[in-house]
């Protein structure tokens, strides 16, 4: 006999609901819940500017059957200049799982959904990992970029030798050539 889930029994992945939606189609309450999840999961170390970096693209949400948000991640389009080409990168942002529901595969579920979107819509995936996230991404085939990085900023190309390298997915980029990403307010990577 299957034991019914209670509030203190971990739920199986099948009991949760995975949904993807563009920012424009997500309900304001759903976005507000995701913003609040960032504060919880990053322990207050997630700014409003960080949040805006994850808007304007596709979100993946995992809710439980009662509608509580358990996990979130988003992928937005950015331009990567590399070896004479301008590539459409799906940049992953705002990946977080409720602290009491981590290590149950929810982060992997979010990444699976975002990787499907990257595969269908972008030339490559890119992200800037937290220490906690890096292991998860590596397990999903993301690799640390070993070449130089920089940005095309308001004053032209700026090389960023001290920047922590991003991780890439399905990129095939050549580390002999620098990766220049588009400029944005806040952290460029
Ligand atoms: C990073 C983060 C998103 C990972 O989410 P998660 O739901 O714990 O991820 P998963 O459960 O899919 O995988 C994490 C680990 O749990 C393991 N795991 C997966 N399902 C499991 C299960 N049912 N039971 C036990 N372990 C499990 C995975 O194998 C993985 O193990 P590993 O770290 O030893 O490789 C989460 O820790 C988080 O929100 N951290 C704070 C915010 C953050 O740093 N976000 C990333 C920003 S780049």
Nearest CA to ligand 1 atom 23: 104
Q: Is the CB of 130 under 6 A from ligand 1?
A: yes
Query: Does 6 map to a domain?
Result: no
Side-chain half-sphere of 145: how many Cα atoms within 13 Å?
32
Tens digits of residue pLDDT in 93-142: 999 999 999 999 999 999 999 999 999 999 999 999 999 999 999 999 99
Is 102 exposed, middle or buried, given 0-12, 13-18 or 19+ CB atoms closer than 10 A?
middle
| Total domains, the chain | 1
SS (H, E, C) 110-156: HHHHHHHHHHHHCCEEEECCCHHHHHHHHHCCCEECCCCEEEEECCE
Domain contains 174 = yes
Residue 89 has pLDDT above 80, yes or no: yes
Give the Cα separation of 1 and 68 in Å (integer): 27
C-alpha to C-alpha distance for 189 and 186, rounded to whole angstroms: 9
- Considering all CA atoms of the chain, what is the largest pairwise distance in Å, rounded to the nearest integer? 66
**CATH number reported for the structural domain that contains residue 128 in this entry:** 3.40.630.30
Q: Ligand 1 centre and the CA of 109: distance in Å?
A: 10
Are 127 and 96 a contacting pair, CB within 8 Å?
no
CA 13, CA 62: separation in Å to the nearest integer? 10
Q: Report residue 2's pLDDT band, with 50, 70 and 90 as the boundaries.
A: very low
CA of 108 to the centre of ligand 1 (A): 7
**Is the distance from the beta carbon of residue 13 to the nearest atom of ligand 1 less than 6 Å?**
no
What is the structure's pLDDT at 116? 98
Structure tokens at 169: 């997915």
For ligand 1, atom 7, name the residue with the nearest CA: 107
Average pLDDT of the chain to the nearest whole number:
94
pLDDT given for residue 9 in this prediction: 44
CA-to-CA distance for 123 and 44, rounded, in angstroms?
33
Q: Which domain holds residue 136?
A: 16-182
Q: What is the pLDDT of residue 13?
A: 57
- What does the pLDDT average to over 40-58? 97
Instruction: Indicate whether 79 belongs to any domain.
Output: yes
Ligand 1 atom closest to 111 (CA): 12
């Amino acid at each position: 006999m299957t034991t019914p889930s209670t509030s203190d029994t971990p739920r199986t992945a099948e009991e949760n609901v995975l949904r993807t939606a563009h920012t424009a189609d997500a309900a304001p309450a759903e976005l507000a819940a995701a913003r609040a999840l960032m504060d919880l999961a990053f322990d207050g170390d997630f700014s409003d500017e960080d949040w805006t970096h994850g808007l304007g693209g596709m979100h993946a949400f995992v809710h439980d059957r009662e509608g509580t948000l358990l996990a979130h991640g988003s992928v937005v389009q950015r331009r990567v200049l590399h070896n004479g080409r301008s590539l459409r990168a799906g940049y992953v942002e705002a990946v977080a799982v409720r602290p009491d529901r981590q290590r149950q595969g929810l982060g992997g579920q979010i990444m699976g959904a975002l990787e499907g979107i990257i595969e269908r819509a972008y030339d490559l995936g890119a992200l800037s990992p937290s220490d906690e996230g890096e292991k998860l991404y590596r397990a999903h085939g993301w690799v640390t970029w070993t070449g130089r990085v920089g940005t095309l900023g308001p004053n032209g190309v700026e090389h960023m030798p001290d920047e922590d390298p991003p991780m890439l997915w399905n990129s095939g980029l050549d580390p002999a050539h620098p990766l220049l990403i588009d400029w944005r307010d806040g952290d460029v990577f």
